[in-house]
Amino acid sequence: MLNIQKKSDTVIIVIHEIYGLNQHMQGYCELLSKQGFDVICPDLLEREAPYDYSQEDAAYRHFMENVGFTGALYKIKDILSDIKDEYQKIFILGFSAGATVAWLCSEEECVDGIVGYWFAY
């Protein structure tokens, strides 16, 4: 898990795509933290290394067989439960499969907003 603390009253939970917590996601989290937000990006895949973009089929298969949308949703709900009293505002930013998970979290009372990025290839 990537957890960047800026002592902000606002946190952004970033949900990565099927490839895992790669350099692109780390860079995006750092960019958000430079804007003064606390940032949490859980490693949903729990692998030593993320998948490369050239490994799309393997990454998709691993995500669906080992994490899935429901499993990812429960992991994010656990994080929300742990942090909901620490922040005035909680936002969720999801990429691709993570965008679907963010959307699934949109009805959580403690979530103030979501943004989902889906990619068309």
**Which segments of the chain are extended strands (E)?**
2-4, 10-15, 38-41, 89-95, 113-117
| Tokens at 79, concatenated | 């994080």
Over the stretch 7-58, which tens digit does the pLDDT of each residue have?
Answer: 999 999 999 999 999 999 999 999 999 999 999 999 999 899 999 999 999 9
Residue of higher predicted confidence among 36 and 119: 36
Comparing CA positions, the residue from 13, 22, 73 lying closest to residue 52 is 22
pTM of this prediction exceeds 0.85? yes
Comparing CA positions, the residue from 110, 85, 111 lying closest to residue 102 is 111
Domains of the chain: 2-117 (3.40.50.1820)
Dihedral, CA atoms, 94, 99, 101, 104, nearest 10 degrees? 120
Helix count and strand count (H, E) for the chain? 4, 5
Q: Is the pLDDT of residue 6 over 90?
A: yes
Q: Is the pLDDT of residue 61 over 80?
A: yes
Q: Is the pLDDT of residue 3 over 80?
A: yes
Over the stretch 65-97, which tens digit does the pLDDT of each residue have?
Answer: 999 999 999 999 999 999 999 999 999 999 999
- Residue 83: the pLDDT is 98
Instruction: Using pLDDT thresholds of 50, 70 and 90, give the confidence band for residue 103.
Output: very high
Query: Which residues neighbour 65 within 8 Å (Cβ) at sequence distance 6 or greater?
Result: none
